[in-house]
Amino acid sequence: LDIRLSEDEWPILRSQRWLLFSEASNIMKFLVTGGAGFIGSNLVTKLLSDPNNEVICIDNMYCGLDSNVAPHLDNPRFKFIKHDITEPLKEEIKVDRIYHLAAPASPPFYQRNAIHTAKTMFLGTLHMLELATKTGARFLLTSTSEVYGDPEVHPQKESYWGNVNCNGIRSCYDEGKRIAETLTFDFHRQHKTDVRIVRIFNTYGPGMREDDGRVVPNFIRQALEGKPLTVYGEGNQTRSFCFVQDTLAGIMSLMEQTETLGPVNVGNPIENTMLELAETILKVTGGKSSLNFQPLPSDDPRKRKPDITLAKQYLNWEPKVLLEDGLKVTVEYFKKRLNL
Ligand code: NAD
Ligand code: UDP
């Protein structure tokens, strides 16, 4: 949060500047909300690698990184708008696709201002659905495995309705994504808005903040700095970690499906305990850190693993990158960021 460009340094765009975008018919125009964040910035980079694509990124820089956006600022096919999506858009935007990712995804960040998180989930999603409906854009919501809460069904299939506390410290995020899913399908039913919903499971990779607070950046930073790894609880809780490029392949494939499907899980079905993750990260970094056991935060899900039958069947998708290989790339990224 201390490394942001000032308001003046960002290219805040005025509506006439949108005319600079090409009107050629083979050009695809994308809006990526949350494009300065971890997954959003990887998506923007991937979209811009196709010369027929133009990308508008909207982000309020609450937890996005300047360094995730800076490489694209000189690209004429890229526009950045610093804007909080809880407020209506000030510019006229016409795009073909809306990837709606804006939402703080790390528990410390989404809990820091829980009321604003809830507003982002509801009002932010509402504003983006209104834009999609008005302009005829296809809309994709990045939902989450958190809609399953602390699951009593394992692994989690899309048909499972979940086990979610509606008034705990994680609820602004979990319930926020649940109402975002509700709104998305209500727009589809009421206005025929062309929608897609992906339920992403724990994803990691380059583009994350070192102070993000999620387990992968925490463990890697601690291992690289020779500090004890903070394991919450006994470390027996499980997560299933997917490398960001695999997750993106699934999300982008879902976006380009010709028909609206129900929500689709995208995640890695290989499940690890946090103790196993700590061990793998120490192996990859060559670190010798001890483990520092800390209290388990409330409502922390005990286990999580996606059933990806639907993604395999409809998207012909499954993850390819092994945890150790993805972690190697991520460790190199953090070494650069930490000047190690
Ligand atoms: P992130 O926290 O790294 O990035 C989120 C981005 O959204 C940040 O740049 C932030 O500044 C921006 N943002 C937040 N509130 C905003 C607002 N009101 N207006 C404008 N911008 C706002 O998150 P991420 O890991 O890249 O996740 C991206 C999306 O994918 C999120 O919607 C998240 O819920 C979902 N998701 C991620 C994971 C994961 O493991 N990374 C898992 C499930 C779902
Ligand atoms: N966790 C941990 N040490 C940390 C950060 C997180 O043991 O330094 C645990 C956390 O309690 C949870 C798991 O790792 O059980 C994944 O946490 P993260 O915040 O990455 O994602 P989420 O809980 O949202 O899946």
Q: Model-level pTM greater than 0.80?
A: yes
Q: Are 302 and 178 in contact (CB under 8 A)?
A: no
At 29-69, the pLDDT tens digits run 999 999 999 999 999 999 999 999 999 999 999 999 999 99
The ligand placed nearest to the CA atom of residue 86 is 1
Alpha carbon distance 72, 69 (integer Å): 6
At 276-294, the pLDDT tens digits run 999 999 999 999 999 999 9
Cβ–ligand 1 contact at 36 (below 6 Å): yes
Alpha carbon distance 103, 61 (integer Å): 11
DSSP string, 97-135: EEEE--S--SHHHHHHTHHHHHHIIIIIHHHHHHHHHHH
Alpha carbon 170 to chain centroid distance? Answer: 16
Of ligand 2's atoms, which has the minimum distance to the CA of residue 214? 20
Determine the longest span between alpha carbons in the chain, in angstroms: 58
Q: List all residues whose CB is within 6 A of at least one atom of ligand 2.
A: 107, 202, 214-215, 218, 230-232, 237, 239, 274, 296-297, 300
Cβ–ligand 1 contact at 124 (below 6 Å): yes
Alpha carbon distance 144, 240 (integer Å): 13
At 264-276, the pLDDT tens digits run 999 999 999 999 9
Kindly give the pairing relationship between strand 238-239 and strand 242-243.
unpaired
- pLDDT band of residue 90 (cuts 50, 70, 90) is confident
Q: Are 73 and 1 in contact (CB under 8 A)?
A: no
3-class DSSP state of 29: strand
Kindly give the pairing relationship between strand 195-200 and strand 78-82.
unpaired
Q: What DSSP state is assigned to residue 338?
A: T
Alpha carbon distance 201, 79 (integer Å): 29
Residue 22 pLDDT > 90: no
At 81 the pLDDT is 96
Region 122-136: mean pLDDT is 97
Alpha carbon distance 152, 32 (integer Å): 34
Q: How many helices and strands (H and E) does the chain possess? A: 11, 13
